[in-house]
Structure 1
Amino acid sequence: MFLNKTVIITGGGSGLGLALARQYHKNFNVCLIGRTETKLKQAVKTFTKTDKKVTYKVCDVTNEEQVLNVLQSIFTNEQVHLLINNAGTGIFQPLESLSEKDIKCMIETNIYGTIYPTRAALQLFKKQGYGKVMNIISTAGLRGKVNESVYCASKFAVRGFTESLVKEWEGSGIYPTAVYMGGMDTPFWDESDHIKDRSRLKSPEMVAELIYEKDDNRGEIFIDR
């Protein structure tokens, strides 16, 4: 059934990206994408050796040329089944407290970092006649939240982007999916006091398992509303 197909996961070096990699590695080769090679190398070492491969590529998903070159190199050597756009960042403060750098970082990572890999993968999926793109959005793409104005704005953008692709790609054999889940207890919150009680959050492993179970080409996956 799986024929040694490969799943590409951006932001795959830690948190939900790494947890998703472990889920998909049960049946697929996985390729982790990230900006920090040391983190990616360490992540690869945590996998148990099986007949499925685990590899990594260093790439800044906000750089369109890098993204295109890296994805082309993967598609040349692998039978890519799915791209998971998981890379993202959030800075949680009142709007007036955000710097220009903070705003630019969230917009570029969350929006460009989803659009560029999707656009690159689309060209390559069209050549092979099938493929899937999964965009990890979070419930910040469903409703506004206190001290998350720009973060929510970026996630609303990715929601509109993905909903449009569902209509645009209909009947093409290429399936886009938007994933909406609540906060998770990941290193994402290590340098923030935005969430006071992390014990109420799901683990990334739990969320990854639920996403994997619901991955059936549907346009939306809801873990928490």
Structure 2
Amino acid sequence: MKKIVITGAGTGLGKELALQYADNDVELHLVGRSLQTLEETAAEAEKSGAKVYVHAADITVVSEVKHIAAEIEEDGPVDILVNNAGIGMFGPFMESTADQMEAMFRTNSFGPIYLAKAFIPGFLQNNRGTIINIISTAGLRGKKNESLYVASKFALRGFTESLQQEYADTGLRIVAAYMGGMNTPFWDETDHIKDKSRLRTPKEVAEIIVKESAEKTEIVIESKNKSGSA
């Protein structure tokens, strides 16, 4: 049975990734801050035959990451880790606060780093496995009024590319997924995206990531219409 860990699995892309992976031969471990949304995802995934566990945790806290990693690996190492959890704050750089800066990097950069460090020993012991870092096209190019978000994603991109080189001669695969903005509640509290209808759905993006990550180490999924800031 394949064991898969997905962070930010309660909503949006994380939820759809869980549903895409769910089948009779999969043990899903869903990680996020909201137990309620994780349980809702779990209920849907179980309909496809998957064995599902939920873990309410804050990935920006090292002790919590270590705790869930030990819990998940108690009966064996993980096969796939999907670092999906992320936050976005948009607007003019000079209007941002120190708290926003720190929150962005803690979630988008440090969280995936903490998780990778927690699970890599198991991957190496097993001499196989995959880490998929969900980076966004913000990790490929600068974008207006997205300076902090882009900076946090560039950091994750650099980390990902470095791990690809460091573990190139092992059974551990490191995959970078760069996708444009999606039509999710992520944008509900901002006018940064004027027309969400032009964006791909999380389901579309999840289907591509699950399919292509089996063979590729870099996946680029642009929005349907690349104009604007998606």
Normalised by the size of structure 2, how large is the TM-score? 0.92
Any unmatched runs of 5+ in structure 2? 224-230
Secondary structure of 1:46's aligned partner: helix
- Aligned partners of 1:202 and 1:47: how far apart in 2? 22
Give the superposition deviation at 1:28.
2.1
Match of 1:75 in 2: 73
Match of 1:192 in 2: 190
Give the superposition deviation at 1:198.
0.2
Of the structure 1 ranges 210-219 and 192-201, higher mean CA displacement relative to structure 2 is found in: 210-219
1:64 aligns with 2:62: yes
Any unmatched runs of 5+ in structure 1? none
Contact 2:18 2:45 in 1 (8 A): no
Match of 2:7 in 1: 10
Q: Which runs of 4+ in 1 moved over 6 A?
A: none
Q: Of 32, 41, 44, which residue of structure 2 is paired with 1:46? A: 44
- Aligned partners of 1:133 and 1:59: how far apart in 2? 19
1:211 aligns with 2:229: no
Of the structure 1 ranges 167-176 and 49-58, higher mean CA displacement relative to structure 2 is found in: 49-58
Give the superposition deviation at 1:47.
2.9
Contact 2:58 2:65 in 1 (8 A): yes
Match of 1:150 in 2: 148
Contact 1:5 1:78 in 2 (8 A): no
Question: 1:205 corresponds to which letter in structure 2?
Answer: K
Match of 1:32 in 2: 30
Contact 2:8 2:32 in 1 (8 A): yes
- Aligned partners of 2:165 and 2:215: how far apart in 1? 13
Question: 2:193 corresponds to which letter in structure 1?
Answer: I
- Aligned partners of 2:123 and 2:47: how far apart in 1? 28
Give the superposition deviation at 1:78.
4.9
Counterparts of residues 173-192 of structure 1 (less than 5 Å) = 173-192=171-190
- Aligned partners of 2:168 and 2:189: how far apart in 1? 41
Match of 2:84 in 1: 86
Q: Given the superposition, is the C-alpha separation of residues 38 and 78 from structure 1 closer, same or farther in structure 2, using an over 3 Å criterion?
A: farther
- What percent identity do the matched residue pairs reach? 44
Secondary structure of 2:174's aligned partner: strand
When the two structures are aligned, how many residues end up with a matched partner? 222
Contact 1:13 1:34 in 2 (8 A): yes
Give the superposition deviation at 1:79.
4.8
Secondary structure of 1:183's aligned partner: coil
- Aligned partners of 1:99 and 1:142: how far apart in 2? 24
Partner deviation per Cα, 1:14-46 (whole Å, 9 max, x = no partner): 000000001111352211100111221222223
- Aligned partners of 1:204 and 1:50: how far apart in 2? 18
Contact 1:5 1:79 in 2 (8 A): no
Secondary structure of 1:170's aligned partner: coil
Of the structure 1 ranges 69-78 and 194-203, higher mean CA displacement relative to structure 2 is found in: 69-78
Give the superposition deviation at 1:71.
1.0
Question: 2:12 corresponds to which letter in structure 1?
Answer: G
1:21 aligns with 2:18: yes
Question: 2:207 corresponds to which letter in structure 1?
Answer: E
Question: 1:119 corresponds to which letter in structure 2?
Answer: K
- Aligned partners of 2:76 and 2:36: how far apart in 1? 23
- Aligned partners of 1:148 and 1:51: how far apart in 2? 40
CA RMSD between the two structures: 1.4
Match of 2:124 in 1: 126
